[in-house]
Structure 1
Amino acid sequence: MSDVFKLSIVVPCYNEEDVLHETTKELTAIVKGLIDEKKISETSKIVFVDDGSKDKTWQLIDEFSKNHNVVTGVKLSRNFGHQGALLAGVTSASQDSDAVITIDADLQDDVNAIPKMVDEYLNGAEVVYGVRNNRDTDTAFKRSTAEMFYKFMGFLGVKLVPDSADYRLMSQRACQVLLSYRERNLFLRGIVPLVGFKSAKVYYARKERFAGESKYPLRKMIKFAIDGVTSFSIVPIKLIMGLGFFIVFFSFVLLIYSFIRKINGDVIPGWSSLMISIWALGGVQLISISVIGEYVGKIFSEVKQRPRFTIERDIYTEKTQEENKR
């Protein structure tokens, strides 16, 4: 493998005007440092993906792209969500890049891990995961729920890299395989391990958000977790079937028990037990229907085959074409 290769760093952005100056400064320093060390090509780029921001994010990206040769941008026509923005950036950058790194704009993921990822790539790894070495910056609630989520996904048979989000390096070949997965319900943390190829891990300490507000409040985190479960496993449906058989068996046992009590003349009318049973079974039925409905909804989204993202402007491609003409 050549020691000098073209690297693109994809950064999804949604209302990130407060942090974009610092993000550009830190990433630009990393890229230029790697260029000076002759590890990556001078044509390497930082690709900011504006995911339908409502603030000045795109204006800043456009400005930075004019002032910095390594900075480019992709503007989506509307908000497609974090996963869609990531995929749009990878789609654009992987066409002529030897490797692509994805990282969030909030600077919580340590940019100093990028050179280590590059070294692992040069050593032959085609997928390099950025993995948190601790969760000290998280609340106790978030730490415990994250641990439960990874354990539950493991129980369902979904292969995830614990404590690894969307901070990773992928070779061009790995990116092309990733893009061949056509599902609309994107959960890249689950899809990337399916790509295969030689992988490695780089550990780093996660920081506090530099500025602005988190784009993943509790509500979105719950939705993200549900998408992860229902996009990769049908075990919940099988569990519902098992629960149904258990309830039927338990009801049959209670029926026999009631007959025995009736024969012995030891029957006490129980309004409370009747109502509790009705409410309990009603709750189980509603939960079961909602789980099945989640799967049906995903089928509904998939069969429509709508675009996963729409690019309004692609500065990355514009700059690449200009460079090729020189």
Structure 2
Amino acid sequence: MNLPIFTIIVPCYNEEEVLEVTIDQLTAKLSELIKQNLVSEKSKVLFVDDGSKDRTWHLIYKASLNNEMVKGLKLSRNAGHQNALLAGLFSAKEASDCMVTIDADLQDDIHAINEMVKKYNEGYEVIYGVRSSRESDTFFKRFTAEGFYKLMDKLGVKLVFNHADFRLMSKRAVDELEHFAESNMFLRGIVPLIGFNSTSVCYERRERLAGETKYPLKKMLAFAFDGITSFSVTPIRFVMLIGCLSFFVSLLFGLYFLTLKLFGNTELGWTSLITSIWLIGGLQLIALGLVGEYIGKIYKETKRRPKYIVDVDLFNLPVSRKLINMEGADYEPISETRKLSENN
């Protein structure tokens, strides 16, 4: 039996406080999987530096020099969590049979990876890591997160409930994922669209080992709104419905005021007038903003700009000690353009 070549992909953004522990735990987990004959000895852990401003890349590179299991991929700038995941998947897929994505803070249970690999060996091509409960979350976070999943379901977007970006995908699934060419990649909604044989593995989410969350409330709201507008036109239809209702209500009020005029009772206050003006004005601004959001997405899609730019790729290039000063974080950048020219 040929064991699958397996890659653990870890997006990192300013994770120097937790990264050394993460590297130790993930390499230990990969060694365990190899000893249990679940994955090939050629398996790797790929850390994707998403334009970090701290020593994250230095720690990744240092680990890659000391441990052949560790590989690094450095993006030229911060491209966002979803694009960092894509960069890791697309870089690793040619040399991997299956890949799992997991955040660097290791709040997702790495022991669930064993069950994921077993499910893959059973024939599943997409295995979702699903939280069994949200008891560790605050009431606000639990309420908003579960409300988001329910709202997306009402809008017709089929997400895996309580699943984030902790998942295993086969090479074939990642190949199909690469065919999705849109700029606004909301992976939690796109991956289920692939449609291959899938299943779920439940786990308990843990506290962050160190450092601060990279998803404060502002980013969470922006992420949720981006997911909604990327997958559904229901909000625009809802605004149109409100507009129609407002039109019919205005007709009723028009008839009401006309009746008052006919009977000579026209001494009315300004409250109803001012309220209606502000109400209609607010609805118009909301409608314009929502339509503008969709137009903005269309504008971004037409530009066809790259989702990310790779600065250094240690997964597909041999490691060279000349690239980094071990006393600091200096390195000689290797862009994709330069890499191609060197190969030619």
TM-score grouping bracket, smaller chain normalisation: over 0.9
- Please state whether the residue corresponding to 1:94 is helix, strand or coil: helix
The equivalent residue for 2:111 is: 112
Does structure 2 conserve the Cα–Cα contact (< 8 Å) formed by 1:34 and 1:115? Answer: yes
User: Displacement, 1:65?
Assistant: 0.5
The equivalent residue for 1:271 is: 270
Superposition map of 1:180-195 within 5 A: 180-195=179-194
Superposition map of 1:211-250 within 5 A: 211-250=210-249
User: Displacement, 1:37?
Assistant: 1.1
1:149 & 1:281 partners in 2: Cα distance? Answer: 28
1:246 & 1:122 partners in 2: Cα distance? Answer: 55
Does structure 2 conserve the Cα–Cα contact (< 8 Å) formed by 1:3 and 1:39? Answer: no
Matched, 1:123 2:125: no
Q: Which moved more, 1:208-217 or 1:2-11?
A: 2-11
1:166 & 1:237 partners in 2: Cα distance? Answer: 28
Superposition map of 1:1-326 within 5 A: 2=1, 4-319=3-318
Q: Runs of 4+ in structure 1 displaced over 4 angstroms?
A: none
User: Displacement, 1:266?
Assistant: 2.7
Cα offsets for 1:129-161 (capped at 9, x unmatched): 000011122111111111111111111110100
2:242 & 2:314 partners in 1: Cα distance? Answer: 53
User: Displacement, 1:3?
Assistant: 5.4
User: Which letter does structure 1 place at the counterpart of 2:161?
Assistant: P
User: Displacement, 1:265?
Assistant: 2.4
Cα offsets for 1:236-277 (capped at 9, x unmatched): 111111111111011001101111122222333221111111
Q: Where do 5+ consecutive residues of structure 1 fail to align?
A: 321-326
2:147 & 2:276 partners in 1: Cα distance? Answer: 30
User: Displacement, 1:221?
Assistant: 0.4
Does structure 2 conserve the Cα–Cα contact (< 8 Å) formed by 1:127 and 1:169? Answer: yes
User: Which letter does structure 1 place at the counterpart of 2:218?
Assistant: R
2:118 & 2:16 partners in 1: Cα distance? Answer: 31
User: Displacement, 1:319?
Assistant: 4.3
Does structure 2 conserve the Cα–Cα contact (< 8 Å) formed by 1:72 and 1:319? Answer: no
2:269 & 2:140 partners in 1: Cα distance? Answer: 40
1:282 & 1:3 partners in 2: Cα distance? Answer: 66
Does structure 2 conserve the Cα–Cα contact (< 8 Å) formed by 1:100 and 1:171? Answer: yes
2:146 & 2:103 partners in 1: Cα distance? Answer: 21
1:65 & 1:136 partners in 2: Cα distance? Answer: 37
Q: Which moved more, 1:266-275 or 1:199-208?
A: 266-275
- TM-score, with length taken from structure 1: 0.96
1:73 & 1:247 partners in 2: Cα distance? Answer: 56
- Please state whether the residue corresponding to 1:59 is helix, strand or coil: helix
1:84 & 1:265 partners in 2: Cα distance? Answer: 66
User: Displacement, 1:72?
Assistant: 0.3
Of all paired residues, the percent bearing the same amino acid is 53
Cα offsets for 1:58-92 (capped at 9, x unmatched): 00000001111110010000100101100000010
1:63 & 1:296 partners in 2: Cα distance? Answer: 44
- Please state whether the residue corresponding to 2:95 is helix, strand or coil: coil
User: Which letter does structure 1 place at the counterpart of 2:315?
Assistant: Y
User: Which letter does structure 1 place at the counterpart of 2:74?
Assistant: K
User: Displacement, 1:12?
Assistant: 0.2
1:284 & 1:148 partners in 2: Cα distance? Answer: 24
User: Which letter does structure 2 place at the counterpart of 1:62?
Assistant: Y
- Please state whether the residue corresponding to 1:19 is helix, strand or coil: helix
Cα offsets for 1:296-322 (capped at 9, x unmatched): 1101111000000000111011249xx
User: Displacement, 1:28?
Assistant: 0.7
1:319 & 1:263 partners in 2: Cα distance? Answer: 89
User: Which letter does structure 2 place at the counterpart of 1:231?
Assistant: S
2:84 & 2:109 partners in 1: Cα distance? Answer: 20
2:232 & 2:208 partners in 1: Cα distance? Answer: 32
Taking a change above 3 Å as real, the CA distance of residues 268 and 148 of structure 1, as seen in their structure-2 partners, is farther
1:197 & 1:100 partners in 2: Cα distance? Answer: 15
- Please state whether the residue corresponding to 1:119 is helix, strand or coil: helix
Q: Where do 5+ consecutive residues of structure 2 fail to align?
A: 320-344
2:190 & 2:119 partners in 1: Cα distance? Answer: 21
1:45 & 1:25 partners in 2: Cα distance? Answer: 13
- Length, aligned pairs only: 319
RMSD: 1.0
Does structure 2 conserve the Cα–Cα contact (< 8 Å) formed by 1:3 and 1:122? Answer: no
Does structure 2 conserve the Cα–Cα contact (< 8 Å) formed by 1:99 and 1:172? Answer: yes
1:293 & 1:307 partners in 2: Cα distance? Answer: 23
The equivalent residue for 1:324 is: none
- Please state whether the residue corresponding to 1:298 is helix, strand or coil: helix
1:281 & 1:142 partners in 2: Cα distance? Answer: 33
